[in-house]
Amino acid sequence: MSPRRLHRGVAVAESLTWALLLLGMVLKYLTRTTDVVVSIGGGLHGFVFLTYLVTTVLVAVDGRWRAGTTLLGLGSAVLPFASIPFERWARRRDLVGERWRLPASPPGGPLERLVGALLARPLVSAAVTLVVLAVVFAVLLALGPPTRWFS
């Protein structure tokens, strides 16, 4: 899968899960009808949010994005539906390629070497990444909502 297609797909999924979470919040807090959609939407959004962050870092390292562009991409996941405009902006500026650069060219620093190694074995890397994301997600679930982390 190309970086462009992967980044676009995960950006759309991140926005869709934002919509589900916001719908759940409306049902829970405004109409007071049910909170099950928040539970489902919150969990899905949390996992896809983490996936979007990892995907954005992979695409940024592969595309040699500047730090500010990478931070803008990561920050777009925090605002509802902002990942899609960011993805379109990055695509129009040709920041997200049709092919992965690192498996074909010699990587530079340690981060590029790591991403290059991951991209050289995409199926194994995807499986390992999903397991790591699941562990991180489980730890975050155990910690509870972010509003309780600092109280």
> Whole domain around residue 54: which residue ranges?
3-145
Alpha carbon 116 to its chain centroid, in Å, reads 19
Q: Residue 125 CB: number of other CB atoms within 10 A?
A: 15
pLDDT at residue 103 in the model = 79
DSSP state of 26: I
Lookup: tokens for 21: 């979470």
Look at residue 81 and tell me if it is in a domain. yes
C-alpha distances out from residue 143 to 78, 137, 147, Å: 19, 10, 10
Q: How far apart are CA 108 and CA 69, in angstroms?
A: 19
Q: Provide the domain count of the chain.
A: 1
pLDDT at residue 151 in the model = 67
pLDDT at residue 95 in the model = 96
Look at residue 151 and tell me if it is in a domain. no
The low-confidence residues of the chain, meaning pLDDT below 70, are: 151
Look at residue 30 and tell me if it is in a domain. yes
pLDDT at residue 91 in the model = 96
CB distance 51 to 64 below 8 Å? no
